[in-house]
């Protein structure tokens, strides 16, 4: 029974990936680019050239592990606060 649920989840995630926002945006960008080139519409070429690379940037940003990123930033801030407190304590002595 668990294998059946796992297969259903895998199929569902494949469908979700195919119909994801990134895929839709990529298709719109490519369509705009093709339309712009075919009909010599510079604004469509411009938007196509903006959307297509933007999709790859969006994919990279969404793929990043943000929880680990924020933990690193908090750890760095805590280290910085400790060094500042140490400097203040040394200055007061």
Q: Over the stretch 41-52, which tens digit does the pLDDT of each residue have?
A: 999 999 999 999
Asked if 33 contacts 52 with a C-beta cutoff of 8 angstroms, the reply is yes
Residue with tokens 């569902």: 12
User: What mean pLDDT value characterizes the chain?
Assistant: 84
pTM of the model: 0.57
Q: What is the pLDDT of residues 55-75, one digit of tens each?
A: 999 888 877 777 788 888 999
Question: Distance (Å, rounded) from C-alpha 89 to C-alpha 81?
Answer: 12
- Listing DSSP states for 10-72 in one string gives HHHHHHHHHTSHHHHHHHHHHHHHHHHHHHT-HHHHHHHHHHHHHHHHHHHHHHS-HHHHHHH
């Amino acid at each position: 029974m668990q294998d059946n649920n796992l297969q259903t989840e895998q199929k569902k995630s494949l469908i979700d990936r195919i119909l994801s926002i990134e895929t839709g945006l990529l298709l719109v960008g490519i369509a705009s680019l093709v339309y712009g080139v075919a009909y010599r519409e510079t604004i469509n070429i411009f938007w196509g050239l903006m959307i297509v690379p933007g999709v790859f940037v969006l994919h990279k940003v969404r793929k990043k592990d943000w929880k680990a990123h924020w933990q690193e930033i908090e750890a760095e801030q805590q280290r910085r606060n400790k060094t500042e407190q140490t400097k203040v304590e040394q200055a007061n002595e």
